[in-house]
Structure 1
Amino acid sequence: MIVGVDVGTSVTKAQLVARDGRTGPAHEARSTLYTLPGNRVEQDMDEVIGTVVTVVRAAVADAAQFAPDEPVEALALTGQGDGLWLRDARGRPVGRALSWMDGRAAPVLEGWSADGTTDAVFRRTGAGMFPGAAGPLLAHLAAHEPDRLAAAETAGYCVDALTQRFTGERTVDASDASVPFLDVSTRTYDDEALDLCGLSDWRGLLADPAPPGTLFGLLPKVAAELGLPAGLPVSAGPFDIPACGFGSGLEKTGQGNLIIGTTLACQVLASDPAPGSGEPAGMVLATPYADRYLRVMPAMIGTAGLDWLLGMLGVRIEELDALLAQSPYGAGGVTALPFLSTSGERAPFVDARARGRLDGLSPLTGRADLVRALCEAVAYSARHCLETLGVAGEITACGGGARSGEWGRIFAGVLGRDVHVREDAVGIRGAARVAWDALGTAPEPPASSFARVSRADPDAVAFYEDGYHRYLDTLEKARQSW
């Protein structure tokens, strides 16, 4: 069995995954997300690592009862991507980690958008930058805190920060390194992209990506803390978006996956790393598999915006399905733009000024209409992202929002096709799959890995076809006003 770990933005989870596909109890620990003036969002690296120790120890304690005949074969890590986790030569933090939600570098990105830098980098690497991406954050620190960069040996990410602390290795997974400076076809950094961003002098802070199939060994001291054997293989990545894709069963090119979580991550498996011809947004990721790439649109508009609206209305998340069922297609004439992140939007377009709105309100509007309008708008955005990516096959869904049957039916209606929903431990399953592949002992997948299928109702498909085009028209006009 595998001990899988998924380090989310504020919650770290760990559980066991057996070879027959069963998962053990999920153990969770929360970490602090510091939201500060100046659109800064930070985390304490040591606190995050402490949450990993806590949940891994709890998961390991389940092993004897969960699968007594299976040994623990590896520790598989996945977690949040993007942001900037600066570390010194010993892997200690150089200040707090800058979250992917951080917005301090928005002025840098605005300048790069105006002078063509973002477009030029996108054409070279397929990475559409946003304020919380490593490129703008590095440039911001180079301009405002150069001493901090000088004190660091590595400018990395969450998963490789854990890997260095647990194994002593300075490394990075190719999926994390893909944004924004990696040539994903060669898995080497594009020096021209670094130069375009004025960051050539800081090239040494970027660890070279580990080759596919690389495993590391658990340090004895850390192993004792975790309750695992010294030298146990450690699989370090991919980060959470591709891990969820592979945990949901992405295998054929053209297949798509929705992660309806804090953000709405839309991804399509591709055999071609070309970034496409659209706006410089989204990303093309290297994966653990040769000649397989993920085209990703990680929109900022997932369940966080819904949580905000439910809180404003005094509605519990457990009431979501019942509330959605009370409002008809089109939410009684109420429509929404779902851009409720303080750092704006990053897919399928990038605009730090993007903001949400509700239209069509009247004295007849109820709470159910407001909630349904927002849920429909998120689904419209998902279609916008997936069409930009070129989805051509089956669509799977996972994440907290995928647990809602009513919202799932909205997604199916808007997308015009059935959505296959996977609910449990998807990121951890993906990380475990990568670990088993690296070990060369991958088990056969279970015959059925989906909790249910959200069916596309023909009447809903017809209604939402018109609604989607109205959404695009409203969005285009709103972008001119932002």
Structure 2
Amino acid sequence: MPDVLIGIDAGTSVIKSVAFDTAGRQLAAAAVPNRYETLPGGGAEQDLARTWADTATTLRQLADKVPDLASRTIAIAVTGQGDGTWLIDKKGEPVAKGWLWLDARAAAIVEEIRARPDDRLRFEKTGSGLAACQQGPQLAFMKRSAPDMLADATTAFHCKDWLYFNLTGERATDPSEGTFTFGDFRTRGYCDDVLEVLGVADLRHLLPPIVDGTRHSAGLSAAAAEATGLLSGTPVVLAYVDVACTALGAGLLDRERKPGCSIIGSTGMHMRLAQTPDEVLLNEARTGYTMTMPTPGVFAQMQSNMAATLNIDWVLSLASGILASQGITRTNGEMIALVDQWISVSEPASLLYQPYVSEAGERGPFVDANARAGFVGISSRHGYADMVRA
């Protein structure tokens, strides 16, 4: 009897597949490091075909850990890193590499739009501040800089949408990303006014249908079954964006205690529950995100730091880079294991670190693509351990 649920999360750092029983207990997990490249001018891109191949690899690895996984699987759900732009053509082939949420090339367009009075209308519809990480500004930038690429495209996906397409052959996005990017959080659908403000109304044909994974699934395709080792026809659900799924798992939907939730991942997300549209608070600065949740009429409202653990990755890379220059190799995991040791020998509160290490700057609680990281108060008595602690 089928008794296993599979969750896929294609994150910025790691792509993973996890098997759960029907009580929600984790049975096994398989993961591979994610890979993307940074480009001059603030670009951050990821290969679509490799992303799908890596995802399929995790599913095959999961089958090695869970006996009879294919026949025991009830359904598969897929989520992934948010924002970004992943274009495919009419044959379903990638038009170019995917632009990630770390991509900063649309920063000037964001400044242009935010300087206009009509950006308030866009903000009141989406409930979300505008940043270069989002698909709207990225498409507007592509219109100016890469029109041939857009001419070849027939669908604009986010990461999880691309994987769902490879699993099922269906072109779709979910209510959370569909509405905070191009829609109205109250109606859970696309909004023409938002597209007009963003300057991409003529690209609406690229936007896939919004489907709610709590009500809709599609069968695993024969090609995907062959690639993953799972059974053709297994139901596949397009989940909400990764942070919404994490919020669910963390208990954000507890309407009595109303907990807050912070996610410290590659990016940082700090959220509260809004139980009705009227509880959504729209600030004057036009920042943050409002994400529809699987429960109708309920929202996760959040502020997002562009870089959270990316700051740790950067400071550890300084040490590992020096070691590598001397022929000494240390993995990221080995470097992380040293963090507690460095903290124990450093002085608390002796340095201030501004955590804007992303080339895309900052998106919350303020929007500034030019924000950059730095240490304040550094002197000759400070060492590497102090920098790590800060």
TM-score, normalisation: structure 2: 0.89
Partner of 1:14: 17
* Contact 2:252/2:260 (<8 A) preserved: yes
Partner of 1:104: 105
In the alignment, the residues of structure 1 paired with residue 143 and residue 383 of structure 2 have an alpha-carbon distance, to the nearest angstrom, of 50
In the alignment, the residues of structure 1 paired with residue 13 and residue 343 of structure 2 have an alpha-carbon distance, to the nearest angstrom, of 27
Partner of 1:85: 86
Partner of 1:398: none
Partner of 2:335: 316
CA 1:135–1:311 in structure 2 vs 1: closer, same or farther (change >3 Å)? same
In the alignment, the residues of structure 2 paired with residue 80 and residue 206 of structure 1 have an alpha-carbon distance, to the nearest angstrom, of 18
Which residue, 362, 371, 394 being the options, matches 2:379? 362
How far apart are residue 313 of structure 1 and its match?
Answer: 4.8
Which residue, 238, 241, 247 being the options, matches 1:239? 241
In the alignment, the residues of structure 1 paired with residue 75 and residue 372 of structure 2 have an alpha-carbon distance, to the nearest angstrom, of 43
Amino acid at match of 2:177: D
Q: Give secondary structure in 2 for the equivalent of 1:363.
A: coil
Which residue, 57, 61, 67 being the options, matches 1:58? 61
In the alignment, the residues of structure 2 paired with residue 195 and residue 221 of structure 1 have an alpha-carbon distance, to the nearest angstrom, of 38
Partner of 1:225: 227
Partner of 2:74: 73
Q: Give secondary structure in 2 for the equivalent of 1:179.
A: helix
CA 1:339–1:202 in structure 2 vs 1: closer, same or farther (change >3 Å)? same
Partner of 1:272: 276
How far apart are residue 144 of structure 1 and its match?
Answer: 2.0
TM-score, normalisation: structure 1: 0.72
Partner of 1:258: 262
* Contact 1:82/1:179 (<8 A) preserved: no
Which residue, 282, 290, 293 being the options, matches 2:296? 290
* Contact 2:175/2:189 (<8 A) preserved: no
In the alignment, the residues of structure 2 paired with residue 91 and residue 256 of structure 1 have an alpha-carbon distance, to the nearest angstrom, of 40
How far apart are residue 10 of structure 1 and its match?
Answer: 4.3
Alignment length (residue pairs):
369
* Contact 1:297/1:348 (<8 A) preserved: yes
Q: How does 1:323-472 map to 2 (within 5 A)?
A: 323-330=342-349, 332=350, 334-373=351-390
Amino acid at match of 2:185: V
Q: Give secondary structure in 2 for the equivalent of 1:281.
A: coil
Amino acid at match of 1:317: I
Partner of 1:152: 153
For residues 432-452 of structure 1, the C-alpha deviation after alignment (integer angstroms, 9 at most, x for no partner) is xxxxxxxxxxxxxxxxxxxxx
* Contact 2:291/2:300 (<8 A) preserved: yes
* Contact 2:13/2:34 (<8 A) preserved: yes
In the alignment, the residues of structure 1 paired with residue 126 and residue 73 of structure 2 have an alpha-carbon distance, to the nearest angstrom, of 38
* Contact 1:57/1:226 (<8 A) preserved: yes
Partner of 2:218: 216
CA 1:361–1:221 in structure 2 vs 1: closer, same or farther (change >3 Å)? closer
Larger proportion of helix:
1
How far apart are residue 4 of structure 1 and its match?
Answer: 1.5
How far apart are residue 152 of structure 1 and its match?
Answer: 1.4
* Contact 2:114/2:130 (<8 A) preserved: no
In the alignment, the residues of structure 2 paired with residue 350 and residue 313 of structure 1 have an alpha-carbon distance, to the nearest angstrom, of 31
For residues 48-98 of structure 1, the C-alpha deviation after alignment (integer angstroms, 9 at most, x for no partner) is 000111111111232228x89x92111111111100011122322111111
Partner of 1:37: 40
In the alignment, the residues of structure 2 paired with residue 328 and residue 37 of structure 1 have an alpha-carbon distance, to the nearest angstrom, of 37
Q: Percent identity?
A: 34
5+ long unaligned stretches in structure 2: 321-333
Which residue, 3, 6, 30 being the options, matches 1:3? 6
* Contact 1:275/1:284 (<8 A) preserved: no
For residues 295-333 of structure 1, the C-alpha deviation after alignment (integer angstroms, 9 at most, x for no partner) is 122211211112212333569211222332334542x3x
* Contact 1:6/1:78 (<8 A) preserved: yes
Superposed CA RMSD:
2.1
In the alignment, the residues of structure 1 paired with residue 120 and residue 244 of structure 2 have an alpha-carbon distance, to the nearest angstrom, of 24
Q: Give secondary structure in 2 for the equivalent of 1:42.
A: strand
5+ long unaligned stretches in structure 1: 374-482
How far apart are residue 31 of structure 1 and its match?
Answer: 4.0
How far apart are residue 178 of structure 1 and its match?
Answer: 2.4
CA 1:124–1:20 in structure 2 vs 1: closer, same or farther (change >3 Å)? closer
In the alignment, the residues of structure 2 paired with residue 23 and residue 317 of structure 1 have an alpha-carbon distance, to the nearest angstrom, of 25
Partner of 1:194: 195
CA 1:233–1:321 in structure 2 vs 1: closer, same or farther (change >3 Å)? same
Which residue, 276, 282, 287 being the options, matches 1:281? 287
**121-130 vs 273-282, which deviates more?**
273-282
CA 1:259–1:161 in structure 2 vs 1: closer, same or farther (change >3 Å)? same
